[in-house]
Structures are given as C-alpha cells and as structure tokens.
Structure 1
C-alpha cells in the first residue's frame, strides 16, 4: 500500500526558531568546545585548542543549514468499501518533509482504538517533489523493516517507529490489522518529532487529529419463515387473507365483470359450461419495528469471535432482522428505548439497510432517570399493524412495564432476550453469590409473568429463533375475536 502523493510546500520566509529547540548534544558540544578553548588560552596550551577545534568546527558545519518548517503528518484510511467486524483494516500514517534540509531522525507514534488490532506495520516510500538520489530513498525505505505478526492481545503501534527522511519527500507507515468490534473507532491521533543538523536541533511534537473508522456489525444468519401477523401495505411477499392479485390460490369462482382473462380456469369452465376464474389472495408487505432497549448493559465484549455483551447481541440481531425483512420487501424502522429516544423512519430497500447499519453505529447504553415510554412512543409513531420486535436484556423493571403496556394496547409484540447466557456471577465472598441467585430467580419470575400476560419472550439464537413465536403471534392475530354486547 502506498499513501497518496501530497505536494510539499516550502516556506517562503523561514523562521529558524519557530518550533525548533537545541538538543542536549548541542549544549554539550558548545560547552566542551568553550571550556577547552578557555582553558587553552588561559594555560597557554595549544593541545587543548586543537582538541576543541573538532567540536567547534563540527557544530558549525552541522548548523550551516537550519530548518525552517515543521514536519507534516496525516492519516489516510485505505479501506474503500464498508468494513465489517472481522474484516481487514488498512491505513497509512504519512510524514512529509517540506523543509530544505534532511531529517536525520523521524520518530513517529500513533494511537489506535483497542478494537482495531494492528498486526503488521512498516515504512514505505510516498512521493517527492524532485529527483533525489536512489541511495537516499533506499536507505529510508530500509530504515525500519516491516514488523511481522504480533502476539495475541498486543498491537504493534504500542511502540514508536523510527526512520530518516530526505528533503521534499514523504514516508508512509503502513498499518494492517483486523477490526474486532462494531462502532466508530478512532485511528490516531498521530504525533511526530524529527531531529536534524546532525541531531543538534529537534522539532516540537506535531500531532494530527484522529480519523474515524466505521465498522459495521457482522450480520448473524437469521431467517423467519412464518407469515407476518398482519400485513399493512398493498404489495409485498406476505400472503394476506384479502382477495386480490397475488400468487396464493384462494379458490375458483364464477367470472365477474372486471376479472382478467388470464385468470379463467378453462377446465372448470368447460365442465360447468360457465366461465370460472381462479381467485387469489393479495401479496402485501408488512412493517417491522425493531425496538432496542438501551437502558442497561451487561457482560463484557470480546469482539468478533469472543464473548458478546448485551449491546453486541442487540446490535447484531437488529442488523440480521433488518436484513431479512428488507430483503423480503418489508418496511423496517428502528426505535431506541432510552433517554435519547432515537428513531429511524420506516422504509424499504437496499438504501434503508445501509441506513440501518449507520444508525446502529451510534447505539450506546445509557440509563434514564425517568420513564421514557411517552417520549419513545409518541403519537402516530407506531402503526397498529406493525410487528414490534423488542430486543431487551430485561434488567430494568421499566422494560417489563413497557412490554406489558404495548401488549395491552393491542400491538403485536415479540420480546427477544439479549442477556448473555454465560454471564458470570460475582466472585466476591459473602452474600454476593446469594444475591446474584436471588436476582436470577426474580428475573425468571418476571419473564413468566410477561408470558402469562401474552408477551412472548424468546432468547436470541440466530436462524429460526423467532419462528415459533411468530407462528403463535400470527395465529392469535387471525383468530376470531369475541365482542361483548
């Protein structure tokens, strides 16, 4: 990977003192040369003056050309398409020399999010403004060889990188690794300090702003084959019980004005000596509302391939459910049950799926001091025909109360338990383990009460985990309702 060629502008009015400071080497050289000269003059010893001459001449020769500009540093992510959990991250931290003197030493260091594990790093030549000797370019390229794979749990950017840089050129620190978790992760900031004039002058630290890297959640396999409880639109992939144009056969009836000729059933018509047509059921789309409970977080995230926290399960399950229903032509909307009350309007298609992934990158767990029900479920925000899939760890009593209120309001609700199954009990001695067991029992009782009130609660298990629940909800939606007189 080679970073972009950036033209390096040289300063028109050099400022030698701006951002540059003498090193201890310069102070020692001046002090030693001065002491030897003074001692040689006072004692009348020529040998001391001869010893001081190399230090004085070497310092003067090194300072004959002083730097006039600070180094440049910038970060360039090299990933073209969207990045998914477990995908390869590539980037380049570039350092440019816009000065008229060479940089004898370049020390570069960068910070990277712990969820971006950089496993390989090495310097590569960028671009230059003029023709430089090939030997200088080769020396800079081989100043620091590429670093091999690092041990698990560490990143190679935890240490500084050192090289040299000729004038009017740029060098790229090429980084490669893996993205371990979804979210917006910073790459940087990066800082650089350079030494010139034989190591007698050093620049101040030049720091660049971090660059955000978007990592989309990995979509877990999910497939719900059951019909929706109640389709709301006029087109889609779900078979409704309303007659209309579709692919589901509803029976054969006598031809009526307005029927299409291609619907004529000639076998029945010849046998009955009267035109009959095949009646079908209309295919209709549905609206799916995915409600994310962000009032609490539990568990520790281990990234892709590791343990999953509540937010990990919630975000990945939301992406899987949205992808499934959007692929079938349904409309999907997202809601946050929390103090932020963020919402994503219902829509369908590929663009909505990309919008869902972007929306999920900003999901954060935050407790609310008040009941956010009225703030989340405002007027005309939730269709009466929508299927509401609630992803909740059921760690807050307000979450259970919200599910009960939605069910009493006549909504089609499915609760998905996102609490990790391997949640470890506290290791403290004393009453901590007993309190944990009591909390577990209390939570099981709460789930049982929700099921008694008609709220189906199922644990997320990937493909087919909601089939049985959706089958029960669809059967209840189509069952005849008894009304009192």
Structure 2
C-alpha cells in the first residue's frame, strides 16, 4: 500500500486555515503579534507531519473453530497489523456478524511485535495473537467500533465468542479498519477484510429405521433381502443340491432324515437411498436451535438424520433438490459421504420460481429404479404433489415425509389468513394427501426416531408381494 491511501483530516484543514488566515492578516495589517500567534500552529503542524506512515494497516480475520453444530460455541478473531515505519495514533476497527451468531463476549487482544518488513509474518498474526496475547473483556455489542493502539511493527485485535443459533454458512465480517496518524492530521481510507463464512452444521434429530429396505439390490450390505443367497439370516432348511457348499450342511437334520440337508439363508444386500428436498416454498419462521423450526429447518435436520442412519448401516445415499437448479449429490457410502452430505446441506436454500422445476435428474439414467426415494416436502406447492404422483406412476418406491408444522399456515399472497380460509386450506391439503396415498405414495409426518418404520414395513410388504401376470 502506498501513501496515496492517506488523506488529510478536518483537523489538518483547520490548522492550515487558521495559520494561513493569521499570516495573511498579519502581513496585510502589519501586525507582528498575529504572525507570532500563527507560528505555533505552523510549527506544530510541521512537527506532527514529520513522520508520515507509508502504508495502511493490514487486516486479518479468521474463525477459531471451523467445526460447529447448532448451539455450539463460536469464536472469531480480527487483527490489525502496522507494517509502516511510523506509529498509528489509533486504529478504529468495526465488524459485522451474522444475526444467527449470538456474540456474548468481546475481548481486546494486547499488541504483540511482528516483522514489519515486506514478506514478513503478517499471515501468522492471528496465530501469534492467540498464542501470546490474553484477551481483556470489553463490554458492548460486536458491531460497535473498537479503538486499538497499534505501534509500528506490531499487531493488535479483538476476539469474539458466542453461540451459533442456526445451521448454515454464517458470515463473520466484513471487518473495516481506519487508521489515524500524525496526531490526528492524517487518516487512511477504510481497509476492508472479506467476511469469513463459518460452517454451522445442523443438529441431528435421533432417527432409526428397523425395517428392511423394500428393494435391496446391491451386491453386499447389511440389509436382509428377499432373495436367497449367501448371508447370515436363516431362511429354512432344504435338501442338498448341486452347487451347495459343504459347510452349509445341517448334520442334525441330515442324520434324522437320513438325507443331506443344507441351511438356506437370505442374502445381505445394500440399498440406495435418495433424499429429495423440496425447496420451492419456505413456511414458518426459524427461531434457531432453541426456538421454533421452519420448514427448511425441519427438512435439513431430518435429511441429516436419515443420511447418518443409512450411511452408518453401509447403504448408498444420494441427495437431490426439487427446485429451479436441481442440485445433486452422487450416491456413495461411508463417513466421507456423511461429511459431504453435511457440507451439501449447508447450501440448501429456498428458491421459489414460477416456472416448472427442473426434473431431468429423475430420469432412469441418474435415478435407480430400485432406490428408496424419501421426499422431504411441506406439500404446500401443488407442483410437489404432482412430482410425487409422477414418480409413483413410474414404479419407484417413494415415501413422502411431511415437514410442515401443524400450527403453521402457508405464506399469504394478499392480506392475512382468516380462520375459515385456514380451515379450508387444511381440508384441501388433507385431500391432496389422500389422493397421494391412493396413488401409492405413503405420507408420514416427521417425528424423529421410528418415523418411517411403519411406512417401510408396508412398502416392503408390497414390494415383495407376487405380481399378477396376464396369460
């Protein structure tokens, strides 16, 4: 940074104006006393400007903890370094913080020495401040300005600590700093540091599903399938046949029947679970981790819980959005996929559109016909119900999870909802749910653990039932 970033303050303008007026008036009127009175102003201004800083302060901003969950402690540090060869009288720093980060404490970090030369250790300012300086508690809110004393070749800053109230990529910053030097006669233009987005992961609601998957079509896995094969679940005892392994012989039954019998088992298969998130409409107001949940909050937290459950059991999980952009996460397994799912969920946001959502991702080349499709939807937009009906008619196993709170009405288009209008809307929505069930789409309200057990039990029974064949 060059000296062109520095500009005169009003104090310098007043000093020059008073000195000039006194000198001009003294020369015109021949008053020596006025010239003598202007001398201290001129000498003081020249003495203050003898060492002008050549560089503006360098800002650094960073988060203390990058792995946060709703309700966890969040921290961030902002530091201002002085790489110039002159002291700053004062550095005024101000930061903006997301409203979903409740800052409870602000601590001012004492200055430490750094290398002021070009290419020094300015990039390590935050680490050195955290290791060497102890924060001094300071009252007030984080968006108020903080005054820091930053001598040449040193750095100072402040630390914010509080609670993360809601999931998402919550911004800390931007941070702006303005330095004042030469006894308040010069000030630099504001230096701005880009905001740091702190990832806050959603709280995972407890969830488990004990029922078998409707169609476990993989090669290996932890689900008991309906197909005989190599596995750990006993299906019965039958007569030994060609291709049976000797270790499958049941000697007790064979000795009693005087004929070789083998234990038949069911194969263990994995399954693909597709979580489809309806992002067409947002209903309700989010109150954070300790308040009420909106539709988007319920959708994201439920998706994280279902994904964690099935990934823990070794299944393949993929994510889809039903909206104008149709974001997609490819299916995979393991802990790495679970972390990827959490990162993917941080970018979920409602995208209302008057046009038909992009549904090319529902094609057979991208969406397996054997996958279990769990649709998280508030069933407020009619297009969501139409999408569920189309998927059911295509022969896919679809389960709809209702994410609309029971006491929340849809967003009004004009004016407020009356009691009669709200009841009529509820009746119309119940009619839509009934029509979906007639199309073979079970609709269940999200209630945490065991929400899908009964639904999966019924769907698995229907999937394994014999199909009628015309002759």
TM-score, with length taken from structure 2? 0.89
Is contact 2:23–2:38 with CA below 8 Å preserved after alignment? yes
What is the alpha-carbon distance in structure 2 between the residues aligned to residue 27 and residue 244 of structure 1?
Answer: 91
Is contact 1:190–1:210 with CA below 8 Å preserved after alignment? yes
Within the candidate set 252, 260, 269, 1:267 is matched to 252
Report the counterpart of residue 408 of structure 2 in structure 1: 423
Is contact 1:336–1:376 with CA below 8 Å preserved after alignment? no
CA positional deviation for 1:145: 4.2
Matches within 5 A, 1:389-400: 389-400=374-385
Report the counterpart of residue 319 of structure 1 in structure 2: 304
Report the counterpart of residue 277 of structure 1 in structure 2: 262
CA positional deviation for 1:405: 1.7
- Report SS of the residue matched to 2:207: coil
Cα distance 1:374–1:423, how it changes in 2: closer, same or farther (>3 A)?
closer
- Report SS of the residue matched to 1:399: helix
What is the alpha-carbon distance in structure 2 between the residues aligned to residue 193 and residue 436 of structure 1?
Answer: 54
Report the counterpart of residue 173 of structure 1 in structure 2: 158
Cα distance 1:254–1:126, how it changes in 2: closer, same or farther (>3 A)?
farther
**Unpaired stretches in structure 2, ≥5 consecutive residues:** 117-131
Cα distance 1:382–1:143, how it changes in 2: closer, same or farther (>3 A)?
closer
CA positional deviation for 1:429: 8.0
Report the counterpart of residue 30 of structure 1 in structure 2: 16
What is the alpha-carbon distance in structure 1 between the residues aligned to residue 262 and residue 115 of structure 2?
Answer: 79
CA positional deviation for 1:400: 1.0
Report the counterpart of residue 187 of structure 1 in structure 2: 172
Matches within 5 A, 1:30-429: 30-37=16-23, 48=34, 51-80=37-66, 82-124=67-109, 125-129=111-115, 145-147=136-138, 156-372=141-357, 374-423=359-408
What is the alpha-carbon distance in structure 1 between the residues aligned to residue 231 and residue 112 of structure 2?
Answer: 60
Report the counterpart of residue 6 of structure 1 in structure 2: none
What is the alpha-carbon distance in structure 1 between the residues aligned to residue 133 and residue 86 of structure 2?
Answer: 20
What is the alpha-carbon distance in structure 1 between the residues aligned to residue 229 and residue 195 of structure 2?
Answer: 57
**Unpaired stretches in structure 1, ≥5 consecutive residues:** 1-10, 131-140, 151-155
What is the alpha-carbon distance in structure 2 between the residues aligned to residue 412 and residue 323 of structure 1?
Answer: 20
Is contact 1:426–1:432 with CA below 8 Å preserved after alignment? no
Q: Does 1:447 align with 2:433?
A: yes
Is contact 1:425–1:433 with CA below 8 Å preserved after alignment? no
What is the alpha-carbon distance in structure 2 between the residues aligned to residue 247 and residue 52 of structure 1?
Answer: 100
Cα distance 1:49–1:367, how it changes in 2: closer, same or farther (>3 A)?
closer
What is the alpha-carbon distance in structure 2 between the residues aligned to residue 44 and residue 186 of structure 1?
Answer: 64
Cα distance 1:205–1:346, how it changes in 2: closer, same or farther (>3 A)?
same
Cα distance 1:333–1:168, how it changes in 2: closer, same or farther (>3 A)?
same
Q: Does 1:458 align with 2:450?
A: no
- Report SS of the residue matched to 2:159: strand
TM-score, with length taken from structure 1? 0.86
What is the alpha-carbon distance in structure 2 between the residues aligned to residue 454 and residue 206 of structure 1?
Answer: 60
Is contact 2:324–2:358 with CA below 8 Å preserved after alignment? no
CA positional deviation for 1:193: 0.5
RMSD across aligned positions (CA): 2.7
What is the alpha-carbon distance in structure 1 between the residues aligned to residue 169 and residue 334 of structure 2?
Answer: 24
Is contact 2:148–2:157 with CA below 8 Å preserved after alignment? no
CA positional deviation for 1:424: 5.4
What is the alpha-carbon distance in structure 1 between the residues aligned to residue 223 and residue 395 of structure 2?
Answer: 21
Cα distance 1:374–1:429, how it changes in 2: closer, same or farther (>3 A)?
closer
What is the alpha-carbon distance in structure 2 between the residues aligned to residue 371 and residue 29 of structure 1?
Answer: 67
Cα distance 1:437–1:60, how it changes in 2: closer, same or farther (>3 A)?
same
